[in-house]
Amino acid sequence: MPVIFPEAIIAAILSIFLFLAMCAALVLIIISLKRPTTLPLIIAGALVVLSLIVVVVSPVNVPVIMGLIVALLGTTVAVLGGNPVTRRVLEMATHGRVRDGVNGGIILDAEAAGVADGEAPAGTGTEVLRGGTTIGYLERLSVVIALIAGYPEAIAIVVAVKGVGRFSELSAAESRERFIIGTLSSLLWACVVGALVRLAIW
**Would you give per-residue pLDDT tens digits along the chain (202 residues)?**
454 568 888 999 999 999 999 999 999 999 999 887 889 999 999 999 999 999 999 988 899 999 999 999 999 999 999 999 998 888 888 776 767 777 767 777 655 445 444 444 444 567 766 778 888 999 999 999 999 999 999 999 999 998 888 777 777 777 788 888 889 999 999 999 999 999 999 8
Angle ∠(7,8,12) on CA atoms, nearest 5: 115
- ∠ CA 156-160-161, rounded to 5°: 120
Residue 166 pLDDT: 79
- Find how far residue 61's CA is from the centre of its chain: 24
pLDDT one-digit tens code per residue, 153-195: 999 999 999 888 877 777 777 778 888 888 999 999 999 999 9
In a domain, 20, yes or no: yes
Q: Is residue 120 part of a domain?
A: yes
pTM attached to this predicted model: 0.84
Q: Please tell me the distance from the alpha carbon of residue 166 to that of residue 186, in angstroms, as a whole number.
A: 16
Indicate whether 1 belongs to any domain: no
Number of folded domains that form the chain: 1
Domain that holds residue 196: 6-201
